[in-house]
Amino acid sequence: MRGSATDPTSPSGPRHLRRTAVPLASAALLLPLLGAAPAHTGPATDSTHRLQEAFAAAAADYHVPQSVLLAVSYLQSRWDWHGGAPSVTGGYGPMHLTDARTAIATAEHFAGGSEDARGDTARAALHPTVEAPAESAVPARLKTLPRAAELTGIPAAELRTDPAANVAGGAALLAAAQKQLGENLSADPADWYGAVARFSGADDTATAAAYADDVYDVLRTGEERTTDGGQLMALAAQPRLTADTAQLKRAGLRTLPTDGTECPRSVSCESVPAPYAEFGDNDYGNHDLGDRPASQSVKYIVIHDTEGTWDGVLNLVQDPTYVSWNYTIRSTDGLIAQHVKAKDVAWHAGNWYINAKSIGIEHEGFLAEPDAWYTEAMYRSSARLVKYLSRTYRIPLDRQHILGHDNVPGPTASTVPGMHTDPGPYWDWRHYFQLLGHPFRRTAGAHSGAVTILPDYAANQPVYTGCTTKGEPCAAHGSSEVRLYSDHDVNAPLIKDIGLGTAPTDGVNDLSSRVSTGQQYAVADRWGDWTAVWYLGQKAWFRNPRKEPAAVPAKTLVVTPRDGLASVPVYGRAYPEKAAYPADVPAQSVVPLPYTVPAGQRYVVGDAVPGEYYYAVTFTTDSHRVVAGKDLYYEIQYGHRVGFVRAADVVLERSAR
């Protein structure tokens, strides 16, 4: 529910917003709110409203309209504190004050594992090596916390660890930006558009404007939610608010060249093209030219995080000896860079079949291990891009087609252990799909034959280890993922992934025994507060109490082995049968993964796909072609990752009962 709280900087009824230049008016107007704060009747009241009061106090101290301060914070963090853990770009607290000096990764995203990002056995494996960018390259947008410390006199450590101090630091930065623009510290939210745009850290007009427009959208619609720290927060709607956008012309920002980028108008987008270039001994990089969707359909969008700084990653994607992806999204302000046209095939997923059928989107994040949280600006910009790509290429908005890199299967058995695990358990899939306009919800009765994984993100905090030090617990944090056990008991062994060849752990990168929000599985059994699903050929249990469910009933299609078959193989790619290949294209082996679907088990179907192989092993494109077979496959949710089974091996059924 939105807009139910009283905000003295918002109109109580229809009126014209006056543009007054009275620096102290903001503080005066905030006094009624502080006086009207909930009575201090006990610890519960204090703890649930303390953050709202911190915003009121900071707004008064620095003469920033409280509504503006709240809206900026919402776009940064949705008012969450994240237990003091830094974001993907070293941002802290509700205001996402950045202090990235010590957060630069020691290894870049694609150099961290044994995965061949191209994933095509027809060519030699590509394992590029890179050096981490120098720490001195950290831009000003990633050093706002030290600047806030200078402005407020509050120690940097306190700005990182105290939410109220963090809010004060954000207010000081906004006030400083307003003064730098030569604007008065007005009590009218309409007069702060330029300062909000500068607060984004963007150095170009389009990105700064897109950020400020999002903040003012929040101001107009209002927001209300309980944060991850149990704080009750509210921002009243101001539907008639009109910002003074002319201020942006005086901000001294550059104009961003678009150069024919494929992006929606609602985002800021620049072209940073990846090179299609020949080098060395008849080798080339770093992507393949194609003619999608005319030559083959685009079925998937793959969500990544970069594990590298924005500037460093953009340098890498322009190196023909490296790898590629289609887009990168910046964390602090949501700026999008396009590198590879959607018609072409980027090398990003480690599985050639998925590469040939997908668009890859990297999200800036450069902590050395899996990242704690992602900014609202990044989520919103990413969701707008994905909605645009979904409409353009008719890609369904569900977890069978919007994949994490951690959902992409290894193409062969030997590649399974080296596949990547980003964007990790802290990516908020529930919120992301709400922004996509396709929220996950219950679609069947209580005794349905399938479920959609749907825990409460903030309350769901499984223990992970290894975020910073191997074996050491990660900071407590909301998660999209639910842990699986071999029995209905938290002391039972975790589910084992035979493809990894190692014992399952609670490591943050160990996907052996985890299901993720939005994924769907066939129900195998129920026991009290526990539900079992078919997973990796096993019966896997997770706690699913009625009052705090981890999953909701779903109606969907499932497959099970045909009568007479003890099991059917699972594949990591849907390649054509041998007879489909012309004489001048080497037939690709259709080799199963070390997994099967045993008789009696059922797995949710994501899509029916024809066997296809994109042959592209030379720099010149005259030999490139798409080989299409007669074999039909079903994409299934097999474990944490998807897989493929031959349609001829299985029976398609409805899950509901």
CATH number at residue 355: 3.40.80.10
Whether 410 is covered by a domain: the verdict is yes
Same domain, 368 and 341: yes
Q: Answer yes or no: is 3 within a domain.
A: no
Domain membership flag for residue 13: no
The C-alpha atoms of residue 622 and residue 63 are separated, in whole angstroms, by: 65
* pLDDT tens digit sequence for 546-556: 999 999 999 99
One domain for residues 205 and 221: yes
Structural domain includes residue 5: no
Q: Is the separation of the CB atoms in 387 and 434 below 8 Å?
A: no
Summarize the confidence of residues 521-543 as an average pLDDT. Answer: 98
Number of domains making up the chain: 3
Residue 565 and residue 553 in one domain: no
pLDDT at 367 > cutoff 80: no
Per DSSP bridges, beta strands 300-305 and 358-363 are parallel
Among the ranges given (120-134, 228-242, 323-337), the one the predictor scored with the smallest mean pLDDT? 120-134
Q: Which of 198, 405, 158 is nearest to 304 (CA)?
A: 405
Residue 273 has pLDDT above 50, yes or no: yes
- Residue after which a domain boundary falls, among 221, 250, 279: 250
Which domain does 93 fall in, by range?
25-98+140-250
Q: Are residues 145 and 123 part of one domain?
A: no
Q: Are residues 544 and 526 in the same domain?
A: yes
On the question of a cis peptide bond just before residue 439, with omega within 30 degrees of 0, the verdict is no
Pairing relationship of beta strands 520-527 and 530-535 according to DSSP bridges: antiparallel
The alpha carbons of the chain give a radius of gyration, in whole angstroms, of: 26
φ/ψ bin of 574: left (φ > 0), alpha (ψ from -120 to 50), beta (otherwise): beta
pLDDT tens across 400-452, in order?
999 999 999 999 999 999 999 999 999 999 999 999 999 999 999 998 999 99
* Cα–Cα distance measured from residue 301 to residue 542, given in angstroms and rounded to the nearest whole number: 28
* H or E, element range at 653: strand 650-654
The per-residue pLDDT for range 190-199, each reduced to its tens digit, is 999 999 999 9
Domain CATH for 29 = 1.10.530
Query: What Å distances lie between residue 653 and 332, 449, 555, CA to CA?
Result: 45, 11, 11
Residues 6+ apart with CB under 8 A from 388: 263, 264
Alpha-carbon distance of 173 to 425, in angstroms, equals 32
Please give the average per-residue pLDDT across 370-379, as a whole number. Answer: 83
pLDDT of residue 47: 65
Q: What's the CA gap between 328 and 274, in Å, rounded?
A: 12
Is pLDDT above 60 for 581? yes
Residues 6+ apart with CB under 8 A from 612: 296, 353, 356, 357, 574, 575, 576, 626, 627, 628, 629
The answer on pLDDT for 45 being more than 70 is no
Residue 539 lies in a domain: yes
- CA-based nearest residue to 52, from 94, 97, 2: 94
Residues 234 and 288 in one domain: no
**Which of these three, 494, 528, 560, is where a domain ends?**
560
Domain ends where: 560, 590, 610? Answer: 560
Query: Residues 434, 389: one domain?
Result: yes
What is the phi-psi region of residue 632: left when phi exceeds 0, alpha when psi lies from -120 to 50, beta otherwise?
beta
CB 330 within 8 A of CB 378: yes
Structure pTM?
0.90
State the pLDDT at residue 117.
Answer: 83
Judgement on whether residues 521 and 405 belong to the same structural domain of the protein: yes
Number of helices and strands in the chain (H, E): 12, 28
**Residue 12 domain flag:** no
Same structural domain for residues 338 and 208? no
Tokens representing 402?
A: 């919007």
On the question of pLDDT at 26 being above 60, the answer is no
pLDDT value, residue 460: 95
Nearest C-alpha neighbor of 164 from the set 43, 317, 293, 61: 61
Does residue 47 sit in the same domain as residue 183? yes
The rounded mean pLDDT for the chain is: 88
Report yes or no on 650 lying in a domain: yes
pLDDT surpasses 70 at 9: no
Vertex 302: Cα angle to 440 and 543 (nearest 5): 40
In a domain, residue 104? The reply is: no
Judge if 381 and 442 occupy the same domain: yes
CA 221 to chain CA centroid, Å, is 24
Shared domain check, 643 and 501: no
